[in-house]
Copies of this chain bind each other. A is one copy, B any other.
């Protein structure tokens, strides 16, 4: 399978990767969430080539993850804003950041994230929507749809449930 076909799997994770699975794309989204929304600023902070940045911004716009908003008429200049689809990447960006805090680097926390106005000084964490208990892999049950099972059977050697 080619990388360009990842999004055709019957799997939401694969489909998500097809749209935002590129490291540069996630670095761009980080910049936009941090408030760095213009081409030049994103260019400097990510260190990508202009060509790479242009093509990824276009792809993100086509996928309706960001939208352009003009901040100058002459010359025409734009800011890139996250749409609702883009804003809902936040749990993904937080998960990457927290994993990086815990398992990479020198023990410092480059970007501290906490709950605005919370008197407990809490940070984002994964909990059950029903009972509010903390959730990790061992606390989860996973069930594949019939379509996902069929898709996996067609690939052969179904080992997972």
Binding site for B on A (CB under 8 A): 1, 3, 5-7, 10-24, 26-27, 30-31, 33-38, 40-41, 44-48, 85, 87-105, 108-116, 118-133, 135-137, 139-145, 147-148, 152, 155-157, 159-161
Q: How far is the CA of A11 from the CA of B26 in the complex (A)?
A: 13
A137 engages B90 (CB within 8 Å): yes
Copies, count: 2
Q: How far is the CA of A119 from the CA of B122 in the complex (A)?
A: 26
B129 engages A122 (CB within 8 Å): yes
With a 10 A CB-CB cut-off, give which of A12, A127, A160 has the most chain B CB atoms.
A12
Knowing A12-B100, A114-B141, say if A108 contacts B147 (CB, 8 Å).
Answer: yes
A96 engages B16 (CB within 8 Å): yes
